[in-house]
């Protein structure tokens, strides 16, 4: 069974247009530098809530929350 971390990384990959397909996505990677923009963040938020069956409170939706995979993991774990 996949871990929460591996599920998150798999979910993130399509949102990161500058991440080469053969490159591993590190938990401390800067998502903005890998292509995640503000509009995609909204789509990602909905995908996270659906995939992990959570409701992320508005006050937790910040620029910092979407900075790295580790920050996103904290939202859904």
The tokens describing 64, both together, are: 């910092």
- Return the pLDDT at 1: 79
* Phi, psi values for residue 61, rounded to 5°: -90, 95
For helices 38-52 and 4-12, angle between their N-to-C axes, nearest 10 degrees: 140
* Mean pLDDT, the chain cut into blocks of 10 residues (77 residues total): 94 96 96 96 97 95 96 94
pTM of the model: 0.92
Domains along the sequence of the chain with CATH: 4-19+27-76 (1.10.1200.10)
Tell me what pLDDT residue 74 has.
95
- Report d(CA 59, CA 34) in Å as an integer: 25
């Amino acid at each position: 069974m996949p871990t929460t971390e591996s599920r998150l990384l798999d979910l993130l990959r399509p949102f990161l247009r500058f991440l080469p397909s053969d490159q591993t996505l590190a938990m401390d990677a800067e998502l903005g530098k890998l292509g995640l923009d503000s509009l995609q963040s909204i789509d990602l938020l909905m995908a996270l809530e659906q995939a992990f069956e959570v409701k992320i409170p508005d006050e937790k939706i910040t620029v910092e929350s979407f900075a790295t995979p580790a920050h996103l993991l904290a939202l859904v774990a």
